[in-house]
């Protein structure tokens, strides 16, 4: 069995880290795995090294060529064209690699990757599986995407439906979407729900404390959040909530980077708020938290990886009730591992977050109960269960032609 993962980028994000972790775990099991990255200009080497150092990584094309073609695609999009030079180039390179490697199954992630694989897999008679992430719901809401050079979401998913073998969802809302936009796949029962797996590697967070947070007092009540540095991730709501707490012994650690956080960092004047920046090993920082926050203001959130990481390190969670978060922190229906706040305007969310954090800082019994429930909630994300489910899908379809020789690297 030769599995080729296809992803648009390998930067910090739930879909990307899922690809790296699952590919690495499959390789440990003895499965031959490689990862094709469609955008060679969007690869974080530190992230790849941290999560999948031994997995073969293939960059399709050169960054300079990609950037030039992307500009032409931008003009085509403005003219109303659905043709993409970038996707055509990516499909050409991917087709060459899949044929040379003798891939038995392709596993794609993110809509941009699915569109490229749809152009390739059918002509090579290679079955392919896609895992749906949050981008599908976000683009369905708008109907198009300038960043992706996508004119018509409905037309795009129809193209995917014509060749995809199986669709994997990671949230209940995605299940509803599949039934809505992939009617034939739904009627043929070629979809399923599989939670992302997360490996339990204790050594990842039992190393020395990062220097940037070493100055936090041992007895401090530490609130933290990890995420992308976008405004929509709710950084402003969390910072505002922290200030409303008025707890002298409370500290706030913010792990992430981006233009928005850079701006915020320049105007926030509070020694108890630490901006740790972008890191490849967030578990080392989460280990110092008492409470982990996920205050996203993005309605299309799906299965935030950071919530799994909070559960892994037994941190009670304060999170927005979006996507699959409610099910993520609920171990068995009666044993929540955190508190939820409603999605709304910044001021409204800030007030709710402040109340939740105040409860956890003052009610020790509640804090300990939620912390004890994290282990049960985490069971849903066991990596072995995740791999077993995917291996069942990989073995169901068979490629028409499989080569015995293996090519480790292909350059287009």
**Whole-number pLDDT of residue 318:** 98
- Beta-carbon contacts of residue 362 (< 8 Å; ≥ 6 apart): none
Domains 2-197+382-395 and 202-380 share a fold: yes
Q: Could you tell me which CATH class the domain 2-197+382-395 is placed in? A: alpha beta
The pLDDT value given to residue 324: 95
Q: What integer pLDDT is reported at residue 69 of this predicted model?
A: 87
**How high is the pLDDT of residue 293?**
98
Residue 317 φ then ψ, to 5°: -110, 140
CATH topology for 202-380 is: Rossmann fold (3.40.50)
Q: Report how far apart the first and last C-alpha atoms of the chain are (Å, whole number).
A: 24
List the domain boundaries for the chain: 2-197+382-395, 202-380
For the sheet containing 221-226, what is the strand order? 273-277, 250-255, 221-226, 291-294, 317-320, 338-341
pLDDT in 10s for each residue of the chain, 412 residues: 899 999 999 998 889 999 999 999 999 999 999 999 998 889 999 999 989 999 999 998 777 888 888 889 999 989 999 899 999 999 999 999 999 989 999 999 999 999 999 989 878 889 999 999 988 998 998 999 988 888 999 999 999 999 999 999 999 999 999 999 999 999 999 999 999 999 976 455 556 778 889 899 999 999 999 998 889 999 999 999 999 998 889 999 999 998 899 899 889 989 999 999 988 889 999 999 999 999 999 998 999 999 999 999 999 999 999 999 999 998 666 789 999 999 999 999 999 999 999 999 999 999 999 999 999 999 999 999 999 999 999 998 543 333 333 333 333 4
Alpha carbon separation from 72 to 8, 62, 86, 87, 299 (Å, rounded)? 19, 16, 9, 12, 32
pLDDT for position 20 = 96
The candidate with the shortest Cα–Cα distance to 283, out of 261, 321, 317, 314, is 314
CA distance 362 to 15: 36
pLDDT score at 406: 34
Describe the chain by its helix, strand, coil percentages, rounded to 5. Answer: 50, 15, 35
Report residue 251 as tokens.
């500290």
Q: Phi and psi dihedrals of 294, rounded to 5?
A: -145, 85
Q: Which residues of 334-361 are buried (b: 16+ CB within 10 A; e: fewer)?
A: ebbbbbbbebeeeeebbbbbbbbbbebb
């Amino acid at each position: 069995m030769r599995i080729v993962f296809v992803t648009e980028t390998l930067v910090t994000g739930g879909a990307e880290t899922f690809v790296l972790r699952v590919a690495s775990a499959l390789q440990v099991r003895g499965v031959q795995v490689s990862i094709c990255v469609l955008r060679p200009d969007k690869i974080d080497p530190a992230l790849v090294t941290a999560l999948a150092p031994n997995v073969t990584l293939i960059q399709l094309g050169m960054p300079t060529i990609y950037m030039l073609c992307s500009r032409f695609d931008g003009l085509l999009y403005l003219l109303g064209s659905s043709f993409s030079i970038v996707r055509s180039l990516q499909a050409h390179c991917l087709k060459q690699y899949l044929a040379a490697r003798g891939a038995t199954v392709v596993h794609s992630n993110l809509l941009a990757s699915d569109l490229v694989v749809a152009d390739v897999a059918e002509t090579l008679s290679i079955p392919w599986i896609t895992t749906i992430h949050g981008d599908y719901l976000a683009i369905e809401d708008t109907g198009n995407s300038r960043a992706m050079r996508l004119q018509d979401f409905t037309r795009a998913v129809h193209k995917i439906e014509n060749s995809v073998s199986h669709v994997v969802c990671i949230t209940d809302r995605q299940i509803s979407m599949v039934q809505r936009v992939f009617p034939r796949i739904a009627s043929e029962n070629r979809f399923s729900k599989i939670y992302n797996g997360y490996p339990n590697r204790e050594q990842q967070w039992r190393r020395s404390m990062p220097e940037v947070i070493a100055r936090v007092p041992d007895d401090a009540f530490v609130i933290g959040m990890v995420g992308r540095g976008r405004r929509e991730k709710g950084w402003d709501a969390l910072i505002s909530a922290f200030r409303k707490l008025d707890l002298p012994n409370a500290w706030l650690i913010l792990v992430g980077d981006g233009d928005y956080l850079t701006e915020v960092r320049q105007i926030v004047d509070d020694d108890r708020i630490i901006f740790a920046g972008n890191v490849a090993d967030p578990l080392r920082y989460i280990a110092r938290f008492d409470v982990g926050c996920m205050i996203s203001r993005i309605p299309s959130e799906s299965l935030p990886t950071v919530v799994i990481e909070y559960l892994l390190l037994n941190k009670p969670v304060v999170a927005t009730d979006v996507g699959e978060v409610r099910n993520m922190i609920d171990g068995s229906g009666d044993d929540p591992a955190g508190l939820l706040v409603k999605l709304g305007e910044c001021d409204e969310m800030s007030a709710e977050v402040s109340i939740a954090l105040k409860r956890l800082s003052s009610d020790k019994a509640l804090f300990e109960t939620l912390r004890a429930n994290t282990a049960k909630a985490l069971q849903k994300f066991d990596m072995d269960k995740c791999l077993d489910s995917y291996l069942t899908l990989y073995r169901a379809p068979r490629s028409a032609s499989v080569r015995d020789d293996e090519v480790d690297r292909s350059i287009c």
